[in-house]
Structure 1
């Protein structure tokens, strides 16, 4: 799905205004899809239509700092608490007391955080290749291989240089990162053009990177348990995140399961859309 049947609106929240794609019946159960780095709403293009056809009210924001949404200045604006508060405010804007949450990558970290902090607002939680943020530090201390996979996070802490590197030559480095870390054909040239357009929005790359810069400022605390039903979908060929992070995240869930994809990478929603959609539809209904 590349936009057919999708409606767009701008939603004013207390702190920011978000560009939101939506589909499905307005009376359907509200379901928020949260993208990760370096995507935007379009990262869910294969899921929006099938979920809407299943009767869900699908709500897909460009999260703050991304795409056509607001890009507040300063690293503090991208603290995980504030990103999670955006999700709750978005639910409020749609008149939803509770929502179904789906998150991938950074969107998955936000979704985990919402479910941990505000379980009364989440009916169920689906995660694609994203660890609970509270387990990452301890996991990396015991698994040096994951630390090596995460060295790019250190690069992103530098001021200005990462922005220059990642926007040079129409985002060449990021385009290459997407295509080399995914199965051939997962991202077409037309798809990449859409991504480049989003990355080159004024202030977007700094906003996107500020998510990483704010993450290292999180206080270390005991992981808050996740009490809502959880489905974790995980591609084992993820070059950035070890499968053990999925198991560590599941360990702090009261009710959850992992569906492994042996041949899929970090980008399993693009590589295995039919299977991912079937799993999400069965779980979210």
Structure 2
């Protein structure tokens, strides 16, 4: 990780903390983390992409870690999250970017590619369906209701923050499996995550991504269409998102590929980094 540099970028009315690596004249690859991670969630992908010649840019997204945390759920609607990344892309390049997103970062990536495709060269999404597909399928697919029940809990004021912070962030730690999987996460990794979660206002800002769904309509104004070629990588054992959402994304948006990875969960980019890195590199080299 010694080759990574850090800076603060002004974009869309906020200051965003950004990690970057690789040659500055290489093709721009923007990696977007999800909940409850931060730029460090892509630690296994940054160096391989940089070594392959890409200019890798990995922000702490709005509300996370060292990036700004504006107060109020209205600042976390999907259009604002998208526009943060447009500002980032235009800061680093006069051309399009490769955009790779996991979880919520993938939702932002899908939304960007669907509504502002002029900024995206290729899209890779990891364990996240197209938001409009999720909106369309979930109400009619009971198995997903239980998987999504935590989202309803996150809508409550204050109580989720207390729950997530108690016992040294035990719930968030367990959600990723940080302390439980020392083969994947070192003590230093665990500490970095807990430092990010402990920053002033971070938990509320992170939860506001979910709370803003009710006013920003995750995918509500976006047709199920996507002009950008994509690859969807999916860990088969995702406890939060059904495989049906992945299959429906591929069925309803046919100009892409869906690849399932066995013996992997929602956190496939941590669990199977060699496979994920190969699938990313192979797709981008076409």
| TM-score, scaled to structure 1 | 0.95
How far did 1:94 drift? Answer: 1.0
Give 1:273's aligned residue.
273
- Once the two structures are overlaid, the 10-residue window that deviates more, 167-176 or 25-34, is 167-176
Extract unaligned runs of 5+ from structure 1: none
* Superposed CA offset, 1:200-241 (max 9, x none): 011110000000000132343462411111001000100000
Instruction: Determine which of 125, 128, 152 is the counterpart of 1:127.
Output: 125
Change (3 A) 1:222 1:12: closer
Give 1:257's aligned residue.
257
Does 1:170 find its partner at 2:168?
A: yes
Give 2:47's aligned residue.
49
Equivalent residues in 2 for 1:170-189 (5 A)?
170-179=168-177, 185-189=183-187
* Superposed CA offset, 1:35-76 (max 9, x none): 000000000000000000000000000000001000001001
| TM-score, scaled to structure 2 | 0.95
Instruction: Determine which of 148, 153, 156 is the counterpart of 2:154.
Output: 156
Equivalent residues in 2 for 1:205-220 (5 A)?
205-219=203-217, 220=220
- Once the two structures are overlaid, the 10-residue window that deviates more, 4-13 or 89-98, is 89-98
How far did 1:180 drift? Answer: 8.3
SS in 1 for 2:177: helix
Does 1:97 find its partner at 2:80?
A: no
Whether contact under 8 Å (2:63, 2:206) holds in the other structure is yes
Aligned counterparts of 2:250 and 2:117: Cα–Cα separation in 1 = 16
Give 2:108's aligned residue.
110
Does 1:16 find its partner at 2:14?
A: yes
Aligned counterparts of 1:202 and 1:180: Cα–Cα separation in 2 = 22
Whether contact under 8 Å (2:234, 2:246) holds in the other structure is yes
Whether contact under 8 Å (1:34, 1:60) holds in the other structure is yes
SS in 1 for 2:212: helix
Number of matched residues?
Answer: 283
How far did 1:167 drift? Answer: 1.3
SS in 2 for 1:251: helix
- Once the two structures are overlaid, the 10-residue window that deviates more, 167-176 or 104-113, is 167-176
Extract unaligned runs of 5+ from structure 2: none
Q: CA RMSD in A?
A: 1.7
Aligned counterparts of 1:32 and 1:222: Cα–Cα separation in 2 = 22
How far did 1:254 drift? Answer: 4.5
Whether contact under 8 Å (2:179, 2:190) holds in the other structure is no
SS in 2 for 1:187: coil
Whether contact under 8 Å (1:41, 1:62) holds in the other structure is yes
How far did 1:140 drift? Answer: 1.1
Whether contact under 8 Å (2:4, 2:19) holds in the other structure is yes
* Superposed CA offset, 1:133-154 (max 9, x none): 1111221122101011110000
SS in 1 for 2:246: helix
Change (3 A) 1:182 1:247: farther
How far did 1:190 drift? Answer: 2.5
Whether contact under 8 Å (2:173, 2:179) holds in the other structure is no
How far did 1:120 drift? Answer: 1.5
Give 2:202's aligned residue.
204
How far did 1:126 drift? Answer: 0.2
